[in-house]
Structure 1
Amino acid sequence: MADGITFTIDGRDVVAQPGHTILQAALDQEIYIPYLCYYPKMKPEGTCRTCMVEVEVNGRKMTVASCTTPPMPDAVVMTNTPEVQELRKDVIELLMTEHPHGCLTCHRIELCGPQDICQRHVTVTDRCTICPKNERCELKDTVRMVELDLRTPLNYHRRDLPIHVDDPFYDRDYNLCIVCSRCVRVCDEVRFDTALTLTSRSGVTLVGTAHGTSLLESGCEFCGACVDVCPTGALTERSYKWEKAVSEVTTICTNCPVGCQMVAEVNKFGKVVRFKGDLAGAANNGQACMTGKFGYDYTNDGSRLKRPYIREDGMLRKATWDEALERIKQGLAGRTPGEVAIITSPRGSNEDQYSAAKFARTVLNTTNIDSALNSDHALLSQLEVRLGAGAATNPIWDLEDAKCLLVVGGNPTEEQNVLAVAAKKAVRKEAKMIVIDSRETELTRYAVEWLRPRPGSEALLIAGIGRAIFDEALEDKEFVATRIEQGEALKQSLWAFDLEKVSRDTGIEASQIRQAARIFATSDAGAILLGANGLDDSAAEKLVDAAVDLSAITGNIGRAFGGIYPLYQGANTLGARDMGATPGENGLGIIDMIPAMSRGDIKAALVMADGVSGYAPALEGLPIALGNLDFLVVSAVFDSEITAQADVVLPAATYAEQSSTVTNVERRVQLLRVTAEPRHEELTGWETIARIARAMGSTDFAHGSSSDVFAEIAGNISNYRELSHEVLQSGGIQWPVDSSSVVGTPLLHADSTQKVTVVQLSYDELAESIGTSALTFAPGRVLNQPERD
């Protein structure tokens, strides 16, 4: 490394990356130095002093904390001199004065079980064997490494604090806390919530909420980041609290379009007992949201559907797969293309979506197919028309280094949580945020300008910002001249957007519009987070046109840390679109299917119902509409108001029981891995479709595994052409993929010769979307409850 710093650790030559500390350089080379307060992705703190090392520079020796000390050229670092070892033991002994350590310093620690009689008379509640983090405790590992003696000179003073169990999801036992402050720092530095802080009680420093309130009252998002970084049993998940994991599997969360890479901890019974963000995950950098961290264990639920059911005499009864398939064959046979429809699961893998699309078009001959949460179809379709992809143009974590963020009509904190974390991190780095939303969302707290336009006037407001940019000659003149087609025509069309008129129709002062224009146009890199909450398809398309034009005239298309990020629903909605699981020209999408079912136009349907709720706003009225069908097949994980309408119910596998792929908002194709084998007769979506297709006489569904299905995908879909399950084993890849080698494309439109087409905007057309009623209902998700939109 040309810019690296060369020095030695224990006689071994090491090259440190610029900005790295001695500890980070050692970890990069797999050299172990004990530490307790340091944690990757957070700033070094140097509070525990466990990582002390001896450094010699120019003949001068000193003992320093390796987590906060950058290396000097040609420095000699020794990690285990007698002096350093003795100092470490002293530090650990001080830490343990307020942490139970009867077991930690006992030579029998490897032999004792939870029911054994303690020969040292350690209090039951202080024993490692009954600690919820036994064998996962970093303090225990550190004590073993430094080889503390059986006898310690310092007495243990138990805090006798009550265990906090009133908040959801995890318990807080500060009797086990070593005050390393990791939880406080991750809450502040990474999550920006400050729900936890350091407090003082009688001169003793403790961790807690600022005013002694509950976590709910302190503004906690319950993302679980504090639990993941805690080195002891002070913070532990309540579910499976004492369960021991025997293996770890890297997989993907399928709850939202971010596609967080997670580490699933699996016990000896094959149950997923913990879920935590993977620090190596490119999409999430080790972070997760409440649903991702704590909503994983539905796969372990004993009330899951275990076998097929068919309806006889008005009642569902248990059946074999052969009976179910025969009933499906009879129910779907003879239907015209317009009489049948398929609704795919928003969690369904690419293999599931591809199989469903293929089945719809080749067996049922219908184009009535859509993903259940594809309610933002117009947003994504228009982005695809304008930019060639209904997806983010830039990687998620480009947001961290954006200089300005324009958030329009979306609530990423609630709906795409980790994406909001990256945005807030940019604000911490002094980026400026502008929020355009009639509703107050969590991100409005971080905005330097919060513009609250009349619902439906968002596109008009953005066009007004574009006009203000041209008024003050703030456009990226080089980009407009060399990269934009019909740039002059766009400029001419924007003259119709007089700011006083825009102000009157949107309800935003002209001075605020000009200020927002100055902020966005003068920033080195401006990213747009684009949602269409509350807008109909026509308004969403106009919003996309206005946003793409704004991004183009400021030179943010194809620019690192700029670009556009669509805010949509459904974990694999983009994958479903890529696989063709969307309606054709004459087909019906999810929004149109519900009234078509109610009218009797659609008479039979296949619903892949994992992650589908009739209470979701986009699916309002779905259960009632399904009741009007002549024949309904539902593949589901649980019994629900949807399965209650079914003629055939099929048991579905979850994310944990399949090896398949999903595609996230930044076009990253990632691999789901099997964490638990199906216990009963559950099948994945592609397996279910294949069995139905074969029962109906098709010979085109003879795949032996999901990798075979993906091989067919790669052969037919250009953006996936160079990919395979084997290639994705080493990590996700962003399409499109280079044909000469398997290299993804993090940044779209980076080619300086590639033209960007802008659209001439019409004032009257944009103003059509503005409501005329005295009162307008502006829905939005509250408290992570989709049904409360």
Structure 2
Amino acid sequence: MEMEMDTPLTYNNRHLPQSVKDPYWDMDMNLCIVCARCVRACDEVRGDSAITLQSHSGRTIIGTAQGTSLLESGCEFCGACIDVCPTGALVERDYKWDKAVTSITSTCPHCPVGCQMTLEVNKRDKLIRAIPDRHAAANHGQACFKGKFGLDFVNNRNRLNKPLIRREGVLQEATWPEALDFVADKLKTYVGDSYAMLASSRGTNEDNYIAQKFARTVMNTNNVDVSSNTRPELLKPLQEQLGHPSATNSIWELEQASRFLVVSSNMTEEQNVVAVPIKKALTEGTASLIVIDQRETELTRYAKVWLKPRPGSEVALIGGMIRVIFDESIDDHDFLVESCEDVTEFRNAIWGFDLIQVERVTGVPQSQIRAAAREFAASKPAAILYALETLPRAIREECSRALVNLALVTGNVGKKSAGLFPLLTGANDQGSRDVGCAPDFLPGHRNLTSEQGRQRVAGAWNAQIPPLRGVGALDITSAINDGKVKALQVIGNNPNFTNGELGDFLEAAKSLDFLVVQDAFSSELTEIADVVLPSQTFAERRGTYTNLERRVQLLRPALGVKGDGEADWRTICQIAQRMGASGFDYTEEDPIFDELNNIVRVYGGLSYGRLEAEGLQWPCLAADMVDTPYLYERTFETRKAKLVNMTLADAEYPMDSQYPLLLAHGRVLHQPDVDMDIVELNNKNSINRQETIKVHPDDARTLGISEGDWIEVVAAGSTIEGAANLTGHQPGIVNVTTLFGELISELEANSSLDPLQHISTLPLTPVKVAKPVTQAAAD
């Protein structure tokens, strides 16, 4: 053992057994001094109250708030209790006896919050712990289960140590010069739109700037995107209506907001730390929450108003809210007059949202629509947070526009603690957009259709830029199947390659003429590649990420480089040089960052030196300027914000005749009214309970289902069984709400490389519902 065991504290052996059966952590109450820091962190900071003070044989100790396990107690496994424990009574299970010899603060690569984590490394150069930086502006000392317990994938032995070239159908080791020469020679035959690049959401700004520069200037195509960019519609209306394609405000300003509108977002899992200031404001009674979502998520239990519209009718619902706000004169009239264009025209268009018709389209009663509108407009500042996870692609842009309109009508733009927060998914999705790693935008958010914008970037690069929009991540699979894209370069792995977000991407990739993959680990994609080039993990990298609040932060290397892994920007530069291209002779990250700052105006005042402390939020236009916590305080980029007319239309959602219903799968931390048991499986705690499946009475009559019947919900490739409960809120929707504790147990037991990157999301899923064959026969 390596841990230093000397301590000034008296060891108080209470003769209590250690608790070692819950996921990821161990509890030894013999070491506890009952300081209650863990209880306060869980209650006052996280708002969960999963652990509490208990009386045990006349002695006060720490225990679970409900039952015997954190799985049933509402724990989100953020690790905040571990981080404040001064004695080691609560500790991470893995590497708990290992001593750190170095520690480096860097940026978590799991989501766009950009949490600053102190990475502790042992003498064998293994990452043994990740501790959130309590002074960090992005996360204020908080983390989520992914950042706390999901970073040790960098220690996985399944590393790609050498370049691989497929010869006679088999991937064989090669030298770097040999592999780079091979790739360069091959790519020369695919210059133009037969080539495409998918960069990584974990790629740095420097990586993805070089990736898009290579695609445009060497391969002469705009077929470049980030593999996580499956909802680009979240950002486009923000740029067109306000000026910048980004969130308007800062995460921790949300503590002072008085109203929240959350639209189709499971943020407590996807962008966990964003929910912390929201929950704090709500539990302190200073704010209220409106949720629009068919699913039950953790935030819905905090909601004052929870609207469950017919899928595909969200635009009509938001339009109905705006109509109520105008009808009742609770809009911000002064803000509209002073700061917005086309107000009269927009107001006239909103009259088309007659509430009788809105109720018909959405299935939401008029009384609930009025209640939501009044609640949102009743107090400022108000913030809108949206992921649009359950919306069909066809209406996501329109819904984003409607939300921008709602923020403008209520005067919640350009104010502290208000604004709009598009909830992206990838760690560097915002930065990738900023540096032009997108099929329709150049660095600095310049539209490809702008001749002036193209010339500005082309002049900086001394190269020509193709003017036509390229193929993005959402369309890459069809472009391959149609034969338009024949050569593909992919950087990093992504769950979208296998979860259906990009269609049957892996199958399509098998038909490519040439596939080159840059990655640190073997994957299903590397197995079918023609060339594999070893990369580095985030913990070996230097560079920058930009989080969802526009904060540019440093990525610092904590580990030594494993094998022959190389920085992705450097690999691309060496390929470009072998293809005879100029402008790719960088030797380190600094000149790349300097170059992109010269092109990306809002980064103009940034430098590695200025980012050392806590990162800076763009716009920061010059070295002597401060950064910008919230946008549009004084003016909009186009002088005034733009209201965009809306039209009431019937709900449309793509359906499958084989699966005529939609499953709205929710997930929450705990359900105190649902019976469950904690059972041991392989010496680990797990949840055993009967699922309840909510079905609308109209659908139940059609299907011949009665209250309490045992039924099964069947999707393509999966089945859920449970007892029917005829309280569904919308015809055509089936609701199942499972527990986060079930998910976390599955993740700990998962032996795959990076299970926390591949968590199942909660989209609306086409299903069919029936009684099991045996029961149907009995009936």
User: Do Structure 1 and Structure 2 share a fold, with TM-score over 0.5?
Assistant: yes
- 2:71 maps to 1:213: no
CA RMSD between the two structures: 1.9
Partner of 1:448: 304
Residues 134, 758 of structure 1: alpha-carbon distance in 2 compared, 3 angstrom cutoff: farther
Q: SS where residue 545 of structure 2 aligns?
A: strand
Asked whether the 8 Å contact 1:133–1:232 carries over to 2, the reply is: no
Asked whether the 8 Å contact 2:606–2:623 carries over to 1, the reply is: no
Q: SS where residue 235 of structure 2 aligns?
A: helix
Asked whether the 8 Å contact 2:544–2:553 carries over to 1, the reply is: yes
CA–CA distance in structure 2, aligned partners of residues 719 and 352 of structure 1: 19
Superposed CA offset, 1:670-694 (max 9, x none):
0011111203100111111111111
CA–CA distance in structure 2, aligned partners of residues 752 and 597 of structure 1: 44
CA offset at residue 734 of structure 1?
Answer: 0.5
CA–CA distance in structure 1, aligned partners of residues 56 and 212 of structure 2: 62
**What amino acid sits opposite 2:278 in the alignment?**
A
Partner of 1:303: 158
TM-score, reference length from structure 1: 0.79
**What amino acid sits opposite 1:326 in the alignment?**
D
CA offset at residue 429 of structure 1?
Answer: 2.6
- 2:358 maps to 1:475: no
CA offset at residue 358 of structure 1?
Answer: 0.5
CA offset at residue 780 of structure 1?
Answer: 6.8
Partner of 2:592: 709
CA–CA distance in structure 2, aligned partners of residues 297 and 272 of structure 1: 6
CA offset at residue 720 of structure 1?
Answer: 1.1
**What amino acid sits opposite 1:453 in the alignment?**
P
- 2:114 maps to 1:259: yes
Asked whether the 8 Å contact 1:670–1:732 carries over to 2, the reply is: yes
**What amino acid sits opposite 2:517 in the alignment?**
V
Q: Choose the corresponding residue for 1:417, options 266, 269, 272.
A: 272
Q: Choose the corresponding residue for 1:382, options 234, 237, 246.
A: 237
CA–CA distance in structure 2, aligned partners of residues 617 and 292 of structure 1: 25
**What amino acid sits opposite 1:775 in the alignment?**
L
**What amino acid sits opposite 2:506 in the alignment?**
P
Q: SS where residue 688 of structure 1 aligns?
A: helix
- 2:398 maps to 1:576: no
CA–CA distance in structure 1, aligned partners of residues 428 and 94 of structure 2: 27
Residues 612, 701 of structure 1: alpha-carbon distance in 2 compared, 3 angstrom cutoff: farther
Q: Which has the larger radius of gyration?
A: 1
CA–CA distance in structure 2, aligned partners of residues 673 and 261 of structure 1: 11
Which structure would you say has the larger RCO, counting Cα contacts within 8 Å and 6 or more residues apart?
A: 2
CA offset at residue 409 of structure 1?
Answer: 1.2
- 2:603 maps to 1:603: no
CA–CA distance in structure 1, aligned partners of residues 69 and 415 of structure 2: 43
- 2:642 maps to 1:787: no
Q: Choose the corresponding residue for 1:335, options 171, 179, 190.
A: 190
Partner of 1:521: 377
- 2:446 maps to 1:563: no
CA–CA distance in structure 1, aligned partners of residues 591 and 561 of structure 2: 20
CA–CA distance in structure 1, aligned partners of residues 618 and 61 of structure 2: 48
Q: Choose the corresponding residue for 2:644, options 759, 768, 772.
A: 759
**What amino acid sits opposite 1:636 in the alignment?**
D
CA–CA distance in structure 2, aligned partners of residues 178 and 498 of structure 1: 62
CA–CA distance in structure 2, aligned partners of residues 335 and 229 of structure 1: 55
**What amino acid sits opposite 2:294 in the alignment?**
S
Q: Choose the corresponding residue for 1:370, options 215, 218, 225.
A: 225
- 2:18 maps to 1:185: no
- 2:547 maps to 1:664: yes
CA offset at residue 615 of structure 1?
Answer: 2.6
CA offset at residue 441 of structure 1?
Answer: 0.9
Superposed CA offset, 1:40-59 (max 9, x none):
xxxxxxxxxxxxxxxxxxxx
* Unmatched runs of 5 consecutive residues or more in structure 2: 441-467, 668-739, 744-755, 763-779
Q: Choose the corresponding residue for 2:399, options 543, 553, 560.
A: 543
Partner of 1:89: none
CA–CA distance in structure 1, aligned partners of residues 327 and 37 of structure 2: 49
Partner of 1:696: 579
CA–CA distance in structure 2, aligned partners of residues 494 and 417 of structure 1: 35
**What amino acid sits opposite 1:483 in the alignment?**
S
CA–CA distance in structure 2, aligned partners of residues 691 and 299 of structure 1: 25
Q: Choose the corresponding residue for 1:652, options 508, 512, 535.
A: 535
Q: SS where residue 221 of structure 2 aligns?
A: coil
CA–CA distance in structure 1, aligned partners of residues 521 and 12 of structure 2: 49
CA–CA distance in structure 2, aligned partners of residues 414 and 351 of structure 1: 28
Partner of 1:274: 129
CA offset at residue 498 of structure 1?
Answer: 0.9
CA–CA distance in structure 2, aligned partners of residues 420 and 133 of structure 1: 37
Q: SS where residue 635 of structure 1 aligns?
A: strand
Asked whether the 8 Å contact 2:310–2:651 carries over to 1, the reply is: no
**What amino acid sits opposite 2:35 in the alignment?**
C
**What amino acid sits opposite 2:648 in the alignment?**
Y
Partner of 1:775: 661
CA offset at residue 355 of structure 1?
Answer: 0.4
CA–CA distance in structure 1, aligned partners of residues 219 and 407 of structure 2: 42
Partner of 1:398: 253
CA–CA distance in structure 1, aligned partners of residues 12 and 135 of structure 2: 39
Residues 555, 780 of structure 1: alpha-carbon distance in 2 compared, 3 angstrom cutoff: same
Residues 740, 356 of structure 1: alpha-carbon distance in 2 compared, 3 angstrom cutoff: closer
Superposed CA offset, 1:229-251 (max 9, x none):
11011111111111111222111
CA–CA distance in structure 1, aligned partners of residues 271 and 593 of structure 2: 27
Q: SS where residue 662 of structure 2 aligns?
A: coil
CA offset at residue 450 of structure 1?
Answer: 0.5
Residues 633, 571 of structure 1: alpha-carbon distance in 2 compared, 3 angstrom cutoff: same
Partner of 2:611: 728
CA offset at residue 481 of structure 1?
Answer: 1.8
Asked whether the 8 Å contact 2:264–2:387 carries over to 1, the reply is: yes
Asked whether the 8 Å contact 2:606–2:622 carries over to 1, the reply is: no
Residues 634, 780 of structure 1: alpha-carbon distance in 2 compared, 3 angstrom cutoff: farther
Asked whether the 8 Å contact 1:209–1:218 carries over to 2, the reply is: yes
CA–CA distance in structure 1, aligned partners of residues 230 and 358 of structure 2: 29
Partner of 2:96: 241
Asked whether the 8 Å contact 1:456–1:771 carries over to 2, the reply is: no
Residues 779, 341 of structure 1: alpha-carbon distance in 2 compared, 3 angstrom cutoff: farther
Residues 536, 390 of structure 1: alpha-carbon distance in 2 compared, 3 angstrom cutoff: farther
CA offset at residue 740 of structure 1?
Answer: 6.2
Superposed CA offset, 1:595-621 (max 9, x none):
111232211110002445533342341
Asked whether the 8 Å contact 1:610–1:652 carries over to 2, the reply is: no
Partner of 1:622: 505
CA offset at residue 271 of structure 1?
Answer: 2.3
Q: Choose the corresponding residue for 1:635, options 506, 518, 522.
A: 518
CA offset at residue 387 of structure 1?
Answer: 2.0
CA–CA distance in structure 2, aligned partners of residues 185 and 202 of structure 1: 23
CA–CA distance in structure 2, aligned partners of residues 157 and 762 of structure 1: 69
Q: More strand per residue: 1 or 2?
A: 2
CA–CA distance in structure 2, aligned partners of residues 665 and 347 of structure 1: 14
**What amino acid sits opposite 1:438 in the alignment?**
Q
Aligned residues: 642
CA offset at residue 755 of structure 1?
Answer: 1.7
**What amino acid sits opposite 2:323 in the alignment?**
R
CA offset at residue 778 of structure 1?
Answer: 4.5
Q: SS where residue 16 of structure 2 aligns?
A: coil
- 2:216 maps to 1:361: yes
Asked whether the 8 Å contact 1:455–1:771 carries over to 2, the reply is: no
- 2:459 maps to 1:587: no
Map 1:25-64 to 2 at 5 A.
none
* Unmatched runs of 5 consecutive residues or more in structure 1: 1-113, 115-129, 144-151
Residues 275, 507 of structure 1: alpha-carbon distance in 2 compared, 3 angstrom cutoff: same
Q: Choose the corresponding residue for 2:85, options 230, 242, 264.
A: 230
Partner of 1:460: 316
Superposed CA offset, 1:47-89 (max 9, x none):
xxxxxxxxxxxxxxxxxxxxxxxxxxxxxxxxxxxxxxxxxxx
